[in-house]
Amino acid sequence: MSDLRTRPTADLYSSPIHLPTWLEDNAHRLIPPVNNQQIWSHSDLICTVVGGPNQRTDFHDDPFEEYFHQFKGNASILIADRGKFERIVLREGDVFLMPPHVRHSPQRTEAGSLCTVIERSRPLGVIDAFEWYCANCGELVTRLQVQLSSIVEDLPRTYAKFYDSTPTERTCLSCGAVHPGRDWASWLDLCAQKFPTLQT
């Protein structure tokens, strides 16, 4: 007979969850400004549902793979690589596996869109990073590293460090353009002008 003190808690290994009911209960968390909610806490896999609309300018450097299942509506993922940007389109029903360390920025323009994102929990010492790039020339502006323990809590704090920085700190050393910070619409508009392949 197992020791009750070592048995898993209900928030980790529970009865099957009826996803439509879970979505209804958490609908208020899947809209701005939060947009995401983790299904199980303290698990080896970080299973998160992300809702739209949610557009961003940061690019995630994840040390592990990420699995995307776009199960409602459409979305896309911007990829930053060697001074250029590309777009991966996620249509409703698509699944996609992101390789580790590929700099990526999910873009969810459709209100009510929903995506499951599954990642690995980070052992102590395994570091994530978030990067912001210049929309004018594509060069790196800022890189912030973080020991990620809670996606829901740690990401907003990391974003705030960049968005609350001064214009001087957000100035591209390559071309002198200033990153607009929280003004994601201006960044995406300029990026689309400078990198026409991003237009869909």
pLDDT band for 1, please (50, 70, 90 cuts): very low
pLDDT class of 200 with cuts at 50, 70, 90: low
- Tokens at 51, concatenated: 């809702």
Q: Which helix (H) or strand (E) holds 163?
A: helix 151-163
pLDDT by residue (tens digit) across 164-179? 999 999 999 999 999 9
* Burial zone of 56 (CB within 10 Å; 0-12 exposed, 13-18 middle, 19+ buried): buried
Q: How far apart are the first and last CA of the chain?
A: 59
- Name the pTM for this structure: 0.90
Cβ-based neighbour number of residue 10 at 10 Å: 9
- DSSP 3-state of 132: strand
Q: How confident is residue 199, by pLDDT bands cut at 50, 70 and 90? A: low
Which residues fall within 8 angstroms of residue 84, CB to CB, at 6 or more apart? Answer: 138, 195
The pLDDT of residue 9:
44
Domains and CATH numbers, the chain: 11-195 (2.60.120.10)
CB 63 within 8 A of CB 126: yes
